[in-house]
Amino acid sequence: MIRKIFKKKPSGKSKIDAFLEKYNLPKGYLSINRRMITRGVWIGLFWGFIPMPMQMLAVMATTPFVRFNVPVAISMVWLSNPFTMPPMYYMEYLTGNFILGREGIDNIELTLDWFTRNMSDIFVPLYVGTAFYSVVVSTVIYILLNRLWIASVKNEKHQKEKERRERKAKKDEKADS
């Protein structure tokens, strides 16, 4: 399980702990637990779906209001990058048109002049679709990830209990012989 990898800490004070103390940052921003990781994914996806510059700064501006794992949130924001932005924003535009019951623009040109002339027709459907993906989809992913994490921990505990019972049965069997 991934949390086992992150839980292994070297003995003594790490450079990360020194950095957090030096700048008086809460350790919660780097915590590795279900709540902090899933919140980080949620916040990162929320800001990542929004077409705006400097999404990482928006993540950082969220830190005083919600505690989450900041590196995870920033990595989720990176899912919207120059390669993924065009399909993401087009999908949001189509979703916004669907929600608003509008027809989309048929003759799309990838020129700055065309975008300037058609901004009013693009802007509202794009941000309606953006609101849907930012709020609904990121929340669904948050809930799904939370439930998967909980199920994984329960499964791991069940496996350990099963192995413990098997070892005990073998030990009892050897003692009886």
In a domain, 51, yes or no: yes
In the chain (177 residues long), the average pLDDT of successive 10-residue segments reads: 58 70 76 89 94 91 90 91 88 92 81 85 91 94 94 93 88 76
What is the count of structural domains for the chain?
A: 1
In a domain, 154, yes or no: no
**Whole-number Å distance between alpha carbons of 63 and 47:** 13
**Which residue segment(s) compose the domain that 62 sits in?**
18-85
Record the pTM: 0.79
In a domain, 61, yes or no: yes
With a CB cutoff of 8 Å and minimum separation 6, the contacts of 132 are 92, 95, 96, 99
Residue 157 is inside which H or E element, if any?
A: helix 138-176
pLDDT at 5: 57
